Amino acid sequence: MPNNVIDQSKDITILEVLDRVLNKGVILTGDIVISVADIDLVYLGVKLMLSSVETMEKLKSGQSLTENYPNN
């Protein structure tokens, strides 16, 4: 296989991994209060500690996982 094909198939693997680990799997709600000003309206009904959208945003900016939860 040429190198770029290997790279691209690796890309697909990584994208599939991220899709699973960020969007699937058991969600813990815990006792965490999510700051309201920052949250998507659409997600209000879902008790998520980290919604995939939030996680994605943090992935881009490299924030700490928990800095939106100041009560801990």
Partner 1 sequence: MNDNKLLFNNAALEELSLNIGKLLNDDGSKLKLTPENADSGLAKLVLTLVELIRKLVEKQAMRRVDGGSLSDDEIERLGETLMKLEMKMEELKKYFNLTDRDLNINLGPLGNLM
Partner 2 sequence: MEKMIYATLSSNKNIDEINGLLSSIKGISGADLYSVKLDEISAVVCDINKIEVVADKENAIEYAEVIENIWNQFTLIPMRFGSILDSKDAISNMLSKNYSEFKDNLLKVENKCEFGLKVFCDSEKIIAELKENSNNEIGLTPSIENENTNSVFRNYIDKKLKEHRFEEFLLSLVDTVINEITKQLENLNAINKFKKMSSATNIVDAYILIEKENKNELLKMVKHFQNQYPSLNFILTGPWPPYNFVEINIK
Task: Map tokens 């296989």 to a residue.
Answer: 1
Which CB sits closer to partner 1, 11 or 65? Answer: 11
Distance CA(51)–CA(44), nearest Å, equals 10
Residue 29 as a binder of partner 2 (CB under 8 A): the answer is yes
Residue 49 as a binder of partner 2 (CB under 8 A): the answer is yes
Distance CA(65)–CA(6), nearest Å, equals 32
Distance CA(63)–CA(25), nearest Å, equals 22
Residue 35 interaction partner, one of partner 1, partner 2, none, beta carbon < 5-8 Å per kind:
none
Contacts with partner 1 by CB under 8 A lie at 5-6, 8-19, 40-43, 46, 51-53, 56-57
